[in-house]
Chain A
Amino acid sequence: MATAAAHETDRTAAYGTDDGATDAYERAFDAAVAADERIEPRDWMPDAYRATLVRQIAQHAHSEIIGMQPEANWITRAPSLRRKAILMAKVQDEAGHGLYLYSAAETLGTSREELLDKLHSGRQKYSSIFNYPTLTWADVGAIGWLVDGAAITNQVPLCRCSYGPYARAMVRICKEESFHQRQGYELLLALSRGTPEQHAMAQDAVDRWWWPSLMMFGPPDDESQHSAQSMAWKIKRHSNDELRQRFVDICVPQAESLGLTLPDPDLRWNEERGHHDFGPIDWTEFWEVLKGNGPCNEQRITQRRQAHDEGAWVREAAAAHAAKRAARGPLTTETTGATRA
């Protein structure tokens, strides 16, 4: 809970022209953040804080639903029924994460429809990692191990984010993501220990996904546009470079256990730093993919728009039916079909 001052204010007053009152709200907000208290939807918050959260939560929600595509690409070709069930459940979880996150954004006064419109028109982004293609079955494992692994490294600190609804959504999401990460690892392990062809498939996938996964933490700290303010607001708790280093340190021993090589000749333990050193990241590639020039940018957004447009008549029908129901008044078994022998 935030401080009494932040909670008990009459919000309408905060929107008035009384600068003295606004200052008081701002001080209460700052104090709540400083004391590591949660900001809740009805609390006063600076416009820029609200806008930053909407941008970040929306981008996260969009990443969940766009992220369904590269994995759904393999549902119909999964090589065993057990793997098929795991993959379907995972893609379903992602849709569920999308639902929690759009709901968290709604607590800030932005509708899902509005956010989807911004995604479809390119005014909001999703994680660039999903602009890479899944070319073989092993890519499903590499996404689980590396992409979900990087996502967890980013997201675990968000469970302590200053905005309550986002922090709570993240607790649930992180639990499910850690399942996905272990399932991805286990999938790669089976391939790595399988036939020579399967092993090669696993290595090829790790070769292609390693560097894009490191880019998931965002640009280096000195080039990161939004970082400083987000850290001050405790939306973000660690810098991009800190989290990237943490991820590399986690992955190196895991790659060894998998019997797979990470594609970086400069990767080695640095005794003095107590961390692994790693080679330079190709930031040109990062910015190019971000600008829309990745291998799948066009394909992903086209499929999303197409699903949305083709579903318009279904959503319209549901709304029309709900309106008819409401107009008919109280429900009867005639309209609900609630009886069942």
Chain B
Amino acid sequence: MTTTVPTTAALALGDDALVLSHRLGEWAGRAPVLEEEVALANIALDLLGQARVLLSLAGDEDELAYLREERAFRNLQLVEQPNGDFAHTIARQLFFSTYQHLLYARLAAGDGPFAPLAAKAVKEVAYHRDHAEQWTVRLGDGTEVSHERMQRACAALWRYTGEMFQPVEGLDVEGEKLRADWLESVGDVLRRATLTLPEGPQSGAWTAGAGRQGLHTEPFGRMLAEMQHLHRSHPGATW
């Protein structure tokens, strides 16, 4: 059993969960149906719980969440993408939860420092994945309008998916195997949803591993400004 926690990896996984939880929290009061208010909040809460554990492995959770500058965040660019319409949110969920589920299942099976967290989180994430897969199929194989929206959302977010398989220092996971499993699973869901796998590249010049290196997209700065504003306005206060 390894005792030292790799900070880079804890921040990468913790920031993914923190940022996606925040985005999902933006849906509160705006979901298409009451059941989805409950479901999206539930996923957001699971992710926030994971983020708190992971960030605490790397330092003080609130200092890390509220007092870091944009360039110090290590999350994937995928999770910071704005909610868009419900199809964009579902495509983001499908891509991320499939990745997170495959990753956490591997980490849970090992004896590394993330094994205990992953063992608990993998059960939560299985539900997130199921939720995303079911909605992908419903929207893809629903009406003409929903089919088109879902296809467009998958295409728009596809370029941010390659980053998930870049190596992360401290995470003992074989990237190429992860990519193959992910592609197989996502490809299968899209096929059942009567959608096609986007043809574009999985990463562009800017997006190849960029979030993990602290390079983010334009919407992220705004998101952080909103998230950090109150905390930063009262230096040293406790809440």
Residues on A close to B: CB < 8 A? 65, 68-69, 72, 75-85, 88-89, 91-92, 95-96, 98-99, 102, 112, 137, 190-191, 194-195, 197-198, 303, 306-307, 310-318, 320-321, 324, 334-335, 337
Instruction: Give chain A nearest CB distance to B98 CB in angstroms.
Output: 11
Task: Decide yes or no whether B28 CB sits under 8 A from chain A.
Answer: yes
- What's the minimum C-beta distance from A165 to chain B, rounded to whole angstroms? 18
Are A81 and B145 in contact (CB-based, < 8 A)? no
Q: Give the distance in Å from the alpha carbon of A313 to the alpha carbon of B29 in the complex.
A: 17
Binding site for A on B (CB under 8 A): 18, 22, 25-26, 28-38, 41-42, 44-45, 48-49, 51-52, 55, 61-62, 65-66, 85-86, 133, 137-139, 141-143, 145-146, 149, 188-189, 192, 226-227, 229-231, 234, 236-239
B37 cross-chain contacts in A, Cβ below 8 A: 65, 68, 92, 95, 98
Q: Secondary structure at chain A's binding surface: helix, strand, loop or mixed? A: helix
Would B230 and A79 count as touching, CB distance under 8 A? Answer: yes
The residues of B that contact A307 with a CB separation of less than 8 Å are 29-32
- Partner of A81 from the list B28, B34, B52, B237 (CB cut-off 8 Å) is B52
Q: State A78–B28 Cα separation when bound (angstroms).
A: 14
The chain B residue sitting closest to A322, CB to CB, is: B138
B188 near A337 (CB under 8 angstroms)? yes
Query: Are the C-beta atoms of A102 and B34 separated by less than 8 Å?
Result: yes
Q: Are B139 and A79 in contact (CB under 8 A)?
A: no
Is there contact, CB below 8 Å, between A81 and B51?
yes
Interface centre among A72, A98, A314 (most CB of B within 10 A): A314
CA distance in complex: A312, B142 (Å): 13
Whole-angstrom distance between the Cβ of A296 and the nearest chain B Cβ: 13
User: Please, which residues of chain A bring their CB within 8 A of the CB of B38?
Assistant: 92, 95-96, 99
Tell me the nearest residue of chain A to B64, going by C-beta.
A81
Tell me the nearest residue of chain B to A197, going by C-beta. B234
Main secondary structure of the interface of B (DSSP, over half): helix
A72-B145 in contact (CB<8A): no
CA distance A116 to B116 in the complex (A): 44
Partner of A95, one of B41, B51, B227: B41
Q: How far does the alpha carbon of A76 sit from the alpha carbon of B133 in the complex, in Å?
A: 27
* A91 and B38 alpha carbons, distance in the complex (Å): 9
Across the interface, A88 reaches (CB within 8 A) one of B45, B61, B62, B145, namely: B45
B-chain residues with CB within 8 Å of residue A324 when the two chains form the complex? 141
Q: Total contacts A to B, CB within 8 angstroms?
A: 148
Q: Which residues of B contact A95 (CB under 8 A)?
A: 34, 37-38, 41
Contacts of B42 in A (CB 8 A): 92
Task: Find chain B residues with CB under 8 A from A68 CB.
Answer: 28-29, 37
Q: In the complex, are the beta carbons of B192 and A335 less than 8 A apart?
A: yes
User: Shortest CB–CB separation between residue B6 and chain A, in angstroms?
Assistant: 21
Q: Which residue of B lies closest to A85 (CB)?
A: B48
- Taking CB as reference atom, which chain B residue is nearest A307? B30
| Docked CA distance A307–B34 (Å) | 10
A80 B62 Cβ-Cβ under 8 A:
yes
- A residues near B32, Cβ cutoff 8 Å: 307, 310-312, 314-315
**Does B145 lie within 8 Å of A313, measured CB to CB?**
yes
**B189 engages A198 (CB within 8 Å):** no
Task: Output the nearest chain A residue to B37 by Cβ-Cβ distance.
Answer: A95
Q: Given A77-B230, A313-B143, A317-B143, A88 and B192 touching (CB < 8 A)?
A: no
A311-B28 in contact (CB<8A)? no
Q: A323: nearest residue on chain B (CB-CB)? A: B142
Residues A92 and B49 in contact, CB atoms below 8 Å apart: no
**Chain A residues with CB below 8 A from B41, complex form:** 88-89, 91-92, 95
Residues on the B chain within 8 Å of A311, using CB? 31-33, 86
Bound Cα distance from A78 to B25, whole angstroms: 11
B residues within 8 A CB of A72? 28-29
A–B Cβ pairs within 8 angstroms, 15 of them: A68-B29, A76-B226, A76-B227, A79-B230, A79-B237, A85-B49, A112-B34, A137-B230, A194-B238, A198-B234, A307-B31, A313-B145, A315-B32, A320-B143, A337-B137
Task: Tell me which residues across on chain B come within 8 A of A112, comparing CB atoms.
Answer: 34
Q: Is the CB of A77 within 8 A of B51?
A: no
Quote the shortest CB–CB distance from B56 to chain A (angstroms): 9
Known: A190-B239, A314-B33. A81 touches B65 (CB 8 A): yes
- Of A76, A194, A198, A316, the residue contacting B142 (CB under 8 A) is A316
Cα–Cα, bound, A70→B192 (Å): 40
Task: List 16 other contacts, CB 8 Å, given A91-B29, A194-B238, A198-B234.
Answer: A65-B34, A75-B25, A79-B239, A81-B61, A91-B41, A95-B38, A194-B237, A198-B237, A307-B32, A310-B30, A310-B32, A313-B143, A313-B149, A318-B33, A320-B143, A337-B189
- CA A89 to CA B37, docked complex, whole Å: 11
- Cβ of B146 and Cβ of A80 under 8 Å apart? no
Q: Which residue of A lies closest to B18 (CB)?
A: A81
A65 nearest in chain B by CB position: B34
User: From residue A220, how far is it (CB to closest CB) to chain B in Å?
Assistant: 33
Chain B residue numbers with a CB within 8 Å of A190 are: 238-239
Q: Is the CB of A85 within 8 A of B45?
A: yes
Query: Is B25 a contact partner of A317 (Cβ separation < 8 A)?
Result: no
Is the pair B146, A316 in contact by a Cβ cutoff of 8 Å?
Answer: yes
> Which residues from B are CB-within-8-Å of A137?
230
